[in-house]
Every structure is written in structure tokens, then in C-alpha cells.
Amino acid sequence: MTHTRPVSSHPTCKDPKKQRQLCPVCLHWDPRPEEGSGPGFGYCVKKDIMTRIRCECDVFEEATRSKLDAKNRQIYGTINEEGEEE
């Protein structure tokens, strides 16, 4: 059984039950735990800040498989068929 911690929403989420939590599906979200951060906190790479999960955001970009692959290629490069980095 998987345990999930309760999520505290950002103040911009007026009515969290009716709004979609954007951060967990955002290309720029990094949910890594930081010292002193609690449940529902993570790091926004685009804004370069620690933040609570938001329902409204001007830099939201949905993390599709192709966008994630492109981001990883940009960060880590690519590996050709022989296994060498390009």
C-alpha cells in the first residue's frame, strides 16, 4: 500500500476542489524534498523558487512524454546506437 502525504495548496487556489493542481503535471516541477519543506512543496525550475502546489500559474507547461524527452536530451545530451554520448 502506498502512503501519500496530504497536500497543502498555494493561496492562489481559491477552491482546490474545483481547480486542477498544475504543479504535479508541469514540465518545470521538481518535487524533491528540501530541508524545511513540508508536504505539497516542491521546486519550480522555471521560476527558481520553492513553492506550494499551485492551481494558477503563468509559466505552466504540461509535461508530455515528448517534452520530457526533449528536456532530458537538453540536460543530458543523447546517446547514439554505439552507446557514446553526442
Q: Is the pLDDT of residue 1 over 70?
A: no
Q: Tell the burial category of 21 from Cβ atoms under 10 Å away from its Cβ (0-12, 13-18, 19+).
A: middle
- Categorize the per-residue pLDDT at 14 as very low, low, confident or very high, splitting at 50, 70 and 90: confident
Angle at 19 between CA 18 and CA 21, to 5 degrees: 140
Q: Domain of 51?
A: 23-73
If one counts the domains in the chain, the total is: 1
Rg (CA), the chain: 16
CA atoms within a 13 Å half-sphere pointing along the CA-CB vector of 1? 1
**Residue 40: other Cβ atoms inside 10 A:** 18
Asked, for residue 33, whether it belongs to a domain, the answer is: yes
pLDDT tens sequence across 15-69: 766 678 899 999 999 887 666 667 778 889 999 988 888 888 999 999 999 999 8
